[in-house]
Structure 1
Amino acid sequence: MLKLKAVAIDTFKENVAYLHRDCPLYRTEGFQALMKIEIYITGNGGPVLAVLNIVDDCTIVDINELGLSIQAFKQLGKEQGVDVRIAPAKPPISLKAVHRKIAGESLKKDEFHLICQDILENRYSKMEIAAFLVACSHNGLERQEVLFLTKAMVDTGEVLNWGENIVVDKHCIGGIPGNRTTMIVMPIVAAHGMLMPKTSSRAITSPAGTADTMEVLANVELSIEEMKKVVHQHRAMLTWGGTARLAPVDDILISVERPLSMDSTGQLVASILSKKIAAGSTHLLIDIPVGPSAKIHNNQAALALRKLFEYIGDLFGLHIDVVISDGSQPIGNGVGPALEARDVQQVLSNHKNAPSDLREKSLRLAGRILEFDPDVRGGQGYNIARDILESGRAFEKMQAIILAQGAQPKKQSKAPLEYAMLASKSGYVSAINNLNIAHIASLAGAPIEKNAGVDLIKKVADKVKKGDTLFIIYASFKSDFEFSTQFAHENNAYVIAKNPPSTDDNYFI
């Protein structure tokens, strides 16, 4: 028997246990660092699984103690000091299927279900999860495999039922900095009266996810009961999906994808659709931006991805409308949670400085969603959305939802360190590299530091003179500031040409 101890270490989506090197169990029972162990408490049901770390410091754990990281301690659900037993964990049965996928074979429905169940039960280490993700990315997922993975991720979590025939949602596949249209579309749609209970993700590889940006304004970590209360009152919400256990395996996979900067096509589709199905959506709008530095580089690839979304969605009875939009440059001016939240509030309040591209794209997307309403004729959605925005009803709806979710206290809107990137020559902005802008904002500290990021002063087709400010970098810490500014100087995010670029590349299919 060992005494349970809470170790205040956040191991981010992974259960970790700590055992002292001089513990008799370590010396006699063959426990080794990084092996999986099962943790038992008499009369407490099944075991909790964790990765074992060995320590030499008695201030962390004594020789008769077992320490658990924050997540593992919460999962065990007992007070410190209780007696616990440990045993080596058996290798997950589903790991054989992962080895088959690594070898390039296709997996069956029950194999994906077993993999997801074992991941949910913490039977996989992050190294094993990474192996699964890399195998799926490198060898690809067939259409049926994407279907099986989506179903497995839905089945291993909660599924919401809102009791209405039309429950709408939208999602952008990402890759475009500042593309925070959801926070404008949602209150427009809710003001129209349609049901839009929006659960969003945090950033995977970007400087801000929708949940990160909404968190600047409101609490986004709501329980299912709290979500239902907000939706019942206001016909919409915008929360982080992680607290509701909606496709929770997806959150674990994302925690491994983030440091690997992975976002493969099959995994992307399964991730998006599993969350939407689990959230109880019946009608979904998917935005696929296309551009040289977007995730999708050409229309041919975008159309193939649209077909995959429609194929999987149809098999789940999910009505999907996929739009292909202009992803040639960032949308809006701000890149980073606080800067993006500023842009959103400017659009919603009809502010004179509101970014016109963010406003226009949001209205077009909102219009497509409003046309899910059988009482709205095709082609009329845009005008209705515009009227709702210009009347102030969308702003009022957003403020009501913020208050219902729990408004955040007002904070400093800018980070203390700032640097203006200047044009090296005169001409016209002919291109902006999405990847470089996103990376600069991430190096500056976004999304962890809400006020960090990049503020775009010039956009594509703008005329500039040598010495004009192209964008401003904001950071809270000196190291982040130095990393981001150095990268900005070494990697051109802006292309300046002698002549203005053609303006026929704006499209919305």
Structure 2
Amino acid sequence: MEVLAKVELSLEKMKKIVQSHRGMLSWGGTAKLAPVDDILISVERPLSMDSTGQLVASILSKKIAAGSTHLLIDIPIGASAKIHDKQEALQLRKLFEYIGDLFALHIEVVFTDGSQPIGNGIGPVLEARDVLQVLSNHIDAPADLREKSLRLAGRILEFDPDVRGGQGYATARDILESGRAFDKMQAIILAQGEQKKHENQPPLQYEVIAYTNGYIHTIDNLKIANIADLAGAPRDKCAGIDLSKKVGDHVNKGDTLFTIYACYKSELEFAKKLADEGNVYTINAKAPSNNAHYYI
């Protein structure tokens, strides 16, 4: 959102925008909803500390402080995701629900497919591009991002007792396809303050190509994130990775798997080195048996 609109807003401006548009996207640090959490994050992030208890506390503290009554939690599950299997996800769901009950916060937890990145872009400008393509019903919009967004939006709509179970998805799809979702996003961006336009891509790029023919079986989320980080994302808004192929796609030797974008030569070299070490994508001769996104 920082690519599209100003996100450091006063509490008074936040209230005004929400009252006018019924929603907004801003940086929570400005409102100082949970200042202790901000301190803990600043300590934990450089040390790569990420305990389950702190994860739950960090997510829920700001929501409770803001006065939320309903909350949808998305837990992606995958071998290279933060949560690796269903058993681990179930334990985390129980913890979320337990803490939510203590604060009279209605929490619904959904499990989604975390076996690969959702959308094509990793990095602020590239991710914002994907979001706007979905909202504007663009022909190039990532299908997986669109589908996941509709499913999550549908579940949120079903918090309304007047919306029957299963009806939320169709309602969300109608709102998206009619253009109302895009119009509302544009209105919120203008209300928050439109950001200056970023360049479509930084000047430096490197294409990572397939080493053989076959089908893509896995994408290592952690390595993709590390490569994007080395390339300068999210510090440099235009830096990151643009995925050309996803799990289940057929590739020929020499096809582009993903493109690295960077603003500085040194950062591009670091990212290239990690990408060229391999094992970011696994390619096999046979198509994967199951490539369906799952929701529980």
Compute the TM-score of the two structures, normalised by the length of structure 1: 0.58
- Secondary structure of 1:414's aligned partner: coil
- Secondary structure of 2:24's aligned partner: strand
- Secondary structure of 1:296's aligned partner: coil
Identity score, percent: 73
Match of 2:252 in 1: 465
Match of 1:317 in 2: 104
For residues 230 and 413 of structure 1, what CA distance do their matches in structure 2 show? 29
Spell out, residue by residue over 1:89-119, the C-alpha distance to the aligned partner (whole angstroms, 9 max, x if none).
xxxxxxxxxxxxxxxxxxxxxxxxxxxxxxx
Equivalent residues of 1:436, 1:491 under 8 A apart: no
Match of 1:433 in 2: 220
Match of 2:205 in 1: 418
Tell me which of 128, 149, 152 is aligned to 1:365. Answer: 152
Tell me which of 443, 456, 462 is aligned to 2:243. Answer: 456
For residues 36 and 25 of structure 2, what CA distance do their matches in structure 1 show? 21
Match of 1:346 in 2: 133
For residues 505 and 289 of structure 1, what CA distance do their matches in structure 2 show? 14
Which runs of no fewer than 5 residues in structure 2 stay unpaired?
A: none
User: Given the alignment of the two structures, is residue 219 of structure 1 paired with residue 18 of structure 2, yes or no?
Assistant: no
Match of 2:44 in 1: 257
Q: CA deviation at 1:429?
A: 0.4
User: Given the alignment of the two structures, is residue 238 of structure 1 paired with residue 25 of structure 2, yes or no?
Assistant: yes
The two structures, once aligned, show a CA RMSD in angstroms of 0.8
Match of 1:478 in 2: 265
Matches within 5 A, 1:2-41: none
- Secondary structure of 2:208's aligned partner: strand
Counterpart residue identity of residue 484, structure 1 = A
Q: CA deviation at 1:366?
A: 0.3
Matches within 5 A, 1:386-401: 386-401=173-188
Equivalent residues of 2:247, 2:291 under 8 A apart: no
For residues 401 and 279 of structure 1, what CA distance do their matches in structure 2 show? 19
Matches within 5 A, 1:274-289: 274-289=61-76
Match of 1:45 in 2: none
Equivalent residues of 2:248, 2:291 under 8 A apart: no
Matches within 5 A, 1:27-106: none
For residues 491 and 462 of structure 1, what CA distance do their matches in structure 2 show? 18
- Secondary structure of 1:411's aligned partner: coil
Structure number, greater radius of gyration: 1
How many residues end up aligned between the 2 structures?
A: 296
Equivalent residues of 1:456, 1:470 under 8 A apart: yes
Spell out, residue by residue over 1:413-461, the C-alpha distance to the aligned partner (whole angstroms, 9 max, x if none).
2111000000011100000000000000000000110000000000000
Q: CA deviation at 1:382?
A: 0.2
Q: CA deviation at 1:504?
A: 5.5
Match of 1:445 in 2: 232
For residues 66 and 200 of structure 2, what CA distance do their matches in structure 1 show? 32
Matches within 5 A, 1:201-220: 214-220=1-7
For residues 255 and 292 of structure 1, what CA distance do their matches in structure 2 show? 27
Q: CA deviation at 1:409?
A: 1.2
Equivalent residues of 1:431, 1:494 under 8 A apart: yes
Match of 1:266 in 2: 53
For residues 416 and 249 of structure 1, what CA distance do their matches in structure 2 show? 39
Counterpart residue identity of residue 147, structure 2 = E
